[in-house]
Amino acid sequence: MTSETAQKANTPSSDQIRRAPKVLLHDHLDGGLRPGTIVELARASGYTQLPETDPAKLGVWFHEAADSGSLERYLETFSHTVGVMQSRESLVRVARECAEDLAEDGVVYAEVRYAPEQHLEGGLSLEEVVEAVNEGFREGERIARENGHRIRVGALLTAMRHAARALEIAELANRYRDLGVVGFDIAGAEAGHPPTRHLDAFEYLKRENNHFTIHAGEAFGLPSIWQALQWCGADRLGHGVRIIDDIQVHADGSVKLGRLASYVRDKRIPLELCPSSNLQTGAADSYAAHPIGLLRRLHFRATVNTDNRLMSHTSMSREFEHLVDAFGYTLDDMQWFSVNAMKSSFIPFDERLAMINDVIKPGYAELKSEWLFRQTTSTSDSATEEG
């Protein structure tokens, strides 16, 4: 076998990308509903604001409306998903379907986030919201297992950065720690809402030895990343893609990292990169131009994520397909991203290690060996390979 053929064997097919064990750290529960579910929940709850009632058209509407080039406009579309997630039943269902859909897509470990404060309009308490979502995730994991898939889902509780409930939500995350919630996040429009406004929440979580990520460096640049890390102490960066602004690439190909970019790389700060979402909100012009290519080459702790599967019309497999097309990534690259993500998760170290050694690496080894057992379809194929 020529090295070229071996190389080819390592380029994943769509089917292999789907079957490859993937790890997802940045996915919004209210950004991943099935369009059909939105229509049904709207009907059942009397929500009349949907722009379309045909599921296929509604799916297209979300994608197009979110494709605006601005984070603020992207976020407006969430009023409809949040609008139909105001009862216990709807939250259980959405969480169950989320776990099922991720498992079907080959995700073995996911941290899925949502903002409990946005689901109180139907009279639920914050605790009831968390318990409903946890119940849905457990049901989804069980159904996935029955269908031959293995997935573990942990919840991240998000506080909205324009609101003033961050400390309360951080306390909630702490109360449900080891009970399905693995950490905390802040999200929402970045400009004008610096993470330092919520220092009390982050300081509380640090005192409690808890974990948190912060949406930073998505619509706003380096100051937001700097604050998230050096003032707030974030364990990970939600997006963090604008760290690229602190990296100079010279004409001769040499690269110079500024102090903040060096810090992020040296400290192995995980970047929860979401390529399709970034294209929609204007942080990159194309997959090929997305900073993930450079960040991977420079060995940042880069991870691949979906952000909002509905609004970005994506899945983990689709994200990887785009990256394979744009950068020629192989199964080894996919494994590298998946191991990076697993290392960066908020579950205990021994569990992360077991996921890496007993699930992720064996999964990729199996996929990488498939070419050995592939049957040739014609004699001319084997003749070429012998040459």
Ligand X SMILES: O=c1[nH]cnc2c1ncn2[C@H]1C[C@H](O)[C@@H](CO)O1
**Which two structure tokens, joined as six digits, stand for 381?**
């194929």
Could you say which residues in the range 284-313 bind ligand X, by CB under 6 A? 307-308
Please indicate if the annotation marks 322 as binding a ligand: no
What sign results for the dihedral spanned by CA atoms 219, 221, 225, 228?
negative
> Which stretch in 12-20, 24-32, 327-335, 358-366 sits in contact with ligand X by CB under 6 A?
24-32
Nearest-angstrom CA–CA distance, 50 and 320: 31
The structure tokens 């996929």 sit at 367
Residue 185: which of ligand X, Zn ion, none does it interact with, CB under 5 to 8 A by kind? none
75 binds, among ligand X, Zn ion, none (CB under 5 to 8 A by kind): ligand X
Site map (CB under 6 A) of ligand X, residues 80-109, x = contact: --x---------------------------
DSSP state letter for 86: -
The least distance separating ligand X from the CB of residue 160, rounded to whole angstroms, comes to: 7
Question: 235 labelled as ligand-binding?
Answer: no
26 annotated as belonging to a binding site for a ligand: yes
Residues 270-329 that bind Zn ion (CB under 5 A): 307
Q: Which of the residues 218, 272, 319, 321 is marked catalytic?
A: 218
* Alpha-carbon span 48 to 143, nearest angstrom: 31
Q: Which residues of 314-335 are buried (b: 16+ CB within 10 A; e: fewer)?
A: bbbbbbbbbbbebbebbbebbb
Answer yes or no whether residue 28 interacts with ligand X by CB under 6 A: yes
The tokens for 335 are 């494994």
Q: Side-chain half-sphere of 255: how many Cα atoms within 13 Å? A: 12
Nearest CB to Zn ion, comparing residues 111 and 246: 111
Nearest alpha carbon to residue 260 among 251, 269, 250: 269
Tokens representing 228?
Answer: 């998230």
Catalytic residue flag (residue 272): no
Residues 6+ apart with CB under 8 A from 351: none
Nearest CA to 131 out of 186, 88, 162 is that of: 88
Is 250 part of any known ligand binding site?
Answer: no
Q: Which of 12, 21, 31, 195 binds ligand X (CB under 6 A)?
A: 31
Which residue's C-beta sits nearest to ligand X?
Answer: 187
Beta bridge partners of 303: 272
Task: For residue 215, state whether it binds ligand X (rule: CB under 6 A).
Answer: yes
Rank residues 39 and 219 by Cβ distance to ligand X and give the closer one. Answer: 219
Minimal distance, residue 247 CB to ligand X, in Å: 22
Q: Which helix (H) or strand (E) holds 107?
A: strand 107-114
188 appears as a binding residue in the annotation: yes
31 binds, among Zn ion, ligand X, none (CB under 5 to 8 A by kind): ligand X
The torsion angles phi and psi of 375, rounded to 5 degrees, stand at: -90, 135
329 binds ligand X (CB under 6 A): no
Q: Is 30 in the site for Zn ion (CB under 5 A)?
A: no
Residue span binding ligand X (CB under 6 A) among the ranges 28-36, 194-202, 319-327, 379-387: 28-36
How far apart CA 88 and CA 19 sit, in angstroms, is 32
CB of 307 or CB of 333, closer to ligand X: 307
Torsion region of 148: left, alpha or beta (phi above 0 gives left; psi -120 to 50 gives alpha): left
* Residue 187 lies near ligand X (rule: CB under 6 A): yes
Q: Which residue ranges make up the annotated binding site for Zn(2+)?
A: 26, 28, 215, 307
- Name the site residues for ligand X (rule: CB under 6 A): 28, 30-31, 71, 75, 78, 82, 113-115, 118, 158, 187-188, 215, 218, 277, 307-308
Active site residues: 218
